[in-house]
Structure 1
Amino acid sequence: VSDITYLTHPPRLPLPIQEELHTPGSPILAPEEGPAGVGELGDISDSLTRKSSGLSAGTVEEEESEELRGGDKVYVTGSIFQWNRKQRLHPVEGKPGCFAATIHVLPGTHHVRFLVDGVMQTTPDLPTTVDFGNNLVNYIEVSPDDAQQQKQAAASQKADPAEVENRASRSASQSTEQPKVPKHRPILPPEAYRCEIPEYLQDFDQAEDSPAYQNAVAAIEKLVTPPSLPGFLGKPILNAAVLMKDDNSVLNMPNHTVLNHLATSSIKNGILAVSATTRYRNKYVTTIIYKPTGAED
């Protein structure tokens, strides 16, 4: 279904304003011999401002519906109630033959018809159009701007004059106040590099039974764990625990390493030499492979 609520002034020709789930011809319009089919409509005249179940909880506007053609019992129905309910119109005091009711409707264009003494009909006081079922109906337009204006008018009427004056005085005083100056936090300079050794590291070289050494150990335990290093950097000889703390000349035996070297020689006399050397501590093992190269290779 295409939404055409943006139309502000629909023409009087057949206009696809809203696709109706229940056309007014079937459930409402009575047969020629009597108004027996009208009994299917429910009467919700117990509250003039009651919201119909067919309406959503969105923004609604009170629409004044009037019928000026007289009658004893006058009802209004239409797409406002999804064509399955009716709202009773009550006589207006001082206006003979005039019936009115206040109905909450959503903004948009709505089809309506009037049930006067059991006869479904339209009123010439409202514009008419033809719906999808080729039925002659009246239509009303509700603009969202009208709903906002009604809310503002109701709020201004309910507001206390003293409160309105206080609001005006507060707004005037706020306008005369000086604008607040934004606060800026000073940017801290980056930490400078120093050559001084921290005190807890100096205390770590003290005697193990001294209080300074115990405090240094407690301070080191509270430090953040450093990130892990690769294997060839995590276990060097200088980072290993020494056998004698006070004798730097006694070092641990370093880990042995096996190195492989691969080399090739330039082709001489049609022969290519490839060598592989494996070194383990002080021993070297070199393997040389010779391969003749010919024109077919």
Structure 2
Amino acid sequence: MGNTPNSEGRARRLSAQLGSAAAGGEGAYQAPYKRKNEPFNFGPEFSAEIPSIVKQSSEDEGFRIRASTITERPGDHVTANKLPTVFKWEGGTAKEVYLSGSFNNWQTKIPLVKSQDHFYTIVDLPEGEHQYQFIVDGKWQVNAKEPTAQNNMGTSNNVLQVKSSDFEVFEALAMDIAESSQTKEHTQSEVSERLRNRSGSPPGRYTSQVPTGRQAGPHRAPPVLPQQLLQVILNRPTDSRYDPNLLPEPDHVMLNHLYALSIKDGVVVLSTIHRYRKKFVTTVMYKPCD
């Protein structure tokens, strides 16, 4: 087939871009040499700024930016073809971080989202080995903490091995959630059935007869008063060394109790002792007995 006007225009624009890049000097981008029948899996050979030929990827190209709140259920993105893979760049001083690799033929850059001091993104990748690099503030860099490998051109790239066996935990979580939902529904149905079958009154025999015998007998006598409470200050004579208008300091076991004196001359006497910080207050109440 012959070249159309549109294809010729695109070819002229591409050659103009490459010619202007070659005139820029050492920092300009040069397309890597590709041998015949050689797979295109090698990365860039420079650490200069991002060339104009590398474009930014979008949502339409199959890449997902890491969201601040994950609403998907486990196993939603685990498919037979592509698996969700997390990429992380550690560095709080960086302003913009992008990702590019063999999975997109080094032709697009995927933006990473900053969370606190690190950058993250999630890319759905097929199984196999993938090489990638980060573009940090316009410069190609590799993560020294991740495995690296050299491509056919001698350039070091980070390497990642994606295996479906690493994502079995997501499938297990999805199965556990499904089983838990079924168990919860079954338990709720059992409880509802028990409530319907349960009567409104406790089980047992009911009668109108008054119980007799031991059940109707008197209750046991109240417990014996502790010996400490028998030493009531008001029942003891005041020592001559104390001020007659002041009572001696009571014990702590005497506090917050109500004392009653035997009825005499038709009067009931009640007393109680309270403490406020280091002071003790004794209150005596007299009430005529009707």
* Max Rg structure: 1
TM-score, shorter chain, exceeding 0.5: no
TM-score by length of 2: 0.40
